[in-house]
């Protein structure tokens, strides 16, 4: 769990370091030319704006001003607020870090649930996720990018289930992505749908429920003849 | 399952009957005076508009025109698009029908999952739910109304779990709402968050996973000392 918490923090630090050093001495920022730095500045400004006031007030001119980048560049490269959100989602997918490997399925799923819980209850990242979910509800291009983001996350964590199957912790043929979705779903349901409070106890319950369901074979690829 | 499917249809028919008979002969529409009929017409027009183009283009003047109601009435009574959405959510909660009672927990949860699946994959109601979820992401009043809607739905279905506990189908102390949330959550996760396709097999898997988790005690009110 602590490894994953550290991952979240390092991800946030990394992002804020990049955004706070637009004029840093060469060599003190991540490798990448002018284009990469412009993209970083624009995506950080987009994330700031989404966190502060959501998708529907996203304004290209304000993003350009906040990022310290010419308007022409922002319009030419991203085209619209939808273009900014989809590129941010691609970037979030690219930046996501490897899955936990604690030695047990329970430990790995706890790390996953803790990461989801921390992200959604973090004031900044919670607001960003709410904004991208809302953007996806209103725009199909954003929806496709959001689907891609979760697909990348799920695939990154899939080895957790493969390793568990090799250790005999889940039945053969368990669908890794379905098991991982089952861990996240109750947390996102409260966060984005029923709009109820989200606590650590919900993350733990979600893990316990997913482990019990997995042990019972509920996530085996074809649960019943003719299904799926 | 068929009972619940019929419930969904009768709910939709009821709504369309009311909206299609603004000038029907007294006695052929639901009891209620002028005020109730105006509310019905305005909420039907609101639902139409949300289904057609979402929350952010909701326009008070257009709602008044579609409903055949004076603009002044709509502005005075609902005030804003947020007022329309929150009243629609209250209405949806009021109109929701009793839970299934098939004689087994598996049967009742299947009816519940089938209802959620049918609602979210129905082109009109799916679009309405996407719109109210997006509205709730952007506005706290809408979020409170959405939370109230799901609370009402969950509480209506809670007796399903109480009866199952009395029949010895789940461990004593099982938290009814948590078990019901576990059935809905994977379906809503695909629908509103990861934006993946939603099929009947997902509804069945969600029921199997929730049953296995419930049997293992994952939804017993206090899963660990000090929790919740």
| Host H or E run for residue B91 | helix B81-95
Tell me what pLDDT residue A31 has. Answer: 56
pLDDT tens-digit profile of A164-189?
Answer: 999 999 999 999 999 999 999 999 99
Which of B51, B135, B205 to mutate to probe the A interface, most A CBs <10 Å? B205
Handedness of CA B158, B117, A138, A118 (dihedral sign): positive
**What is the model's pLDDT at position B96?**
80
Pairs from A94-102 (Cβ < 8 Å, separation ≥ 24): A95/A11, A95/A14, A95/A15, A96/A11, A96/A152, A96/A153, A96/A156, A97/A7, A97/A10, A97/A11, A98/A156, A99/A156, A99/A157, A99/A158, A99/A159, A99/A160, A100/A3, A100/A4, A100/A160, A101/A159, A101/A160, A101/A163, A102/A3
pLDDT in tens, A82-99: 999 999 999 999 988 789
- Residue from B137, B140, B149, B223 whose CB has the most chain A CBs within 10 Å, to mutate: B137
Q: Is A52 on the interface with B (CB under 8 A)?
A: no
Under-50 pLDDT residues of chain B: 1-29, 223-228
Portion 141-170 of B in contact with A at CB < 8 A: 143-144, 146-147, 150-151, 154
pTM over 0.80: yes
Give pLDDT, residue A10: 41
Residue pointed to by tokens 């500045």? A41
Query: What are the phi and psi torsion angles at A221 (to 5°)?
Result: -45, -45
Q: In the prediction, which pLDDT does B31 show?
A: 56
Residues of chain A with pLDDT > 70: what percent? 83
Is residue A97 classed exposed, middle or buried when 0-12, 13-18 and 19+ CB atoms within 10 A define those classes? middle
List the one residue out of B23, B85, B20, B80 whose CA is nearest residue B50. Answer: B85
Is B223 touching A (CB cutoff 8 A)?
yes
Contact status of B227 with chain A (Cβ, < 8 Å):
yes
Q: How far apart are CA A198 and CA A186, in angstroms?
A: 10
Q: Which of B189, B190, B208 sits opposite A223 (nearest CB)?
A: B208
**pLDDT 10s digits, A112-160:** 999 999 999 999 999 999 999 999 999 999 999 999 999 999 999 999 9
pLDDT at B178: 98
Element (H, E) at B214: helix B200-215
A21 pLDDT higher than 50: no
Contact B181 A190 (CB under 8 A): yes
DSSP B37: H
B79 touches chain A (CB under 8 A): no
Are the C-beta atoms of A19 and A69 separated by less than 8 Å? Answer: no
Q: What is the pLDDT of residue A32?
A: 72
> pLDDT tens digits, residue range A45-73?
999 999 999 999 999 999 999 999 999 99
In this complex, do A216 and B216 lie within 8 Å of one another by their Cβ atoms? yes
Nearest-CA distance A9 → chain B (Å): 23
**CA gap A35, B80 in Å, rounded:** 44
Three-state DSSP class for residue A58: coil
At A95-104, the pLDDT tens digits run 887 899 999 9
């Amino acid at each position: 769990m602590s490894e994953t918490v550290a991952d979240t923090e390092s991800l946030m630090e990394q992002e804020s370091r990049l955004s706070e050093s637009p004029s840093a001495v060469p060599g003190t920022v991540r490798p990448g030319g002018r284009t990469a730095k412009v993209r970083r500045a624009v995506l950080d400004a987009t994330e700031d704006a989404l966190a502060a006031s959501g998708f529907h007030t996203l304004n290209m001119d304000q993003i350009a001003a906040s990022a310290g980048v010419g308007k022409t560049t922002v319009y030419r490269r991203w085209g619209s607020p939808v273009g900014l959100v989809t590129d941010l989602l691609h970037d979030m997918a690219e930046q996501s870090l490897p899955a936990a490997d604690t030695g047990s399925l329970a430990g790995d799923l706890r790390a996953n649930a803790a990461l989801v819980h921390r992200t959604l209850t973090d004031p900044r990242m919670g607001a960003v996720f709410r904004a991208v979910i809302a953007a996806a509800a209103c725009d199909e291009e954003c929806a496709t990018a959001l689907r891609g983001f979760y697909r990348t996350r799920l695939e990154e964590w899939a080895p957790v289930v493969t390793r568990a199957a090799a250790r005999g912790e889940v039945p053969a043929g368990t669908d890794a992505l379905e098991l991982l979705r089952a861990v996240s779903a109750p947390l996102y349901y409260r966060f984005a749908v029923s709009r109820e409070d989200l606590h650590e106890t919900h993350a733990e319950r979600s893990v316990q429920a997913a482990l019990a369901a997995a042990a019972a074979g509920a996530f085996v690829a074809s649960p019943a003849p003719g299904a799926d």
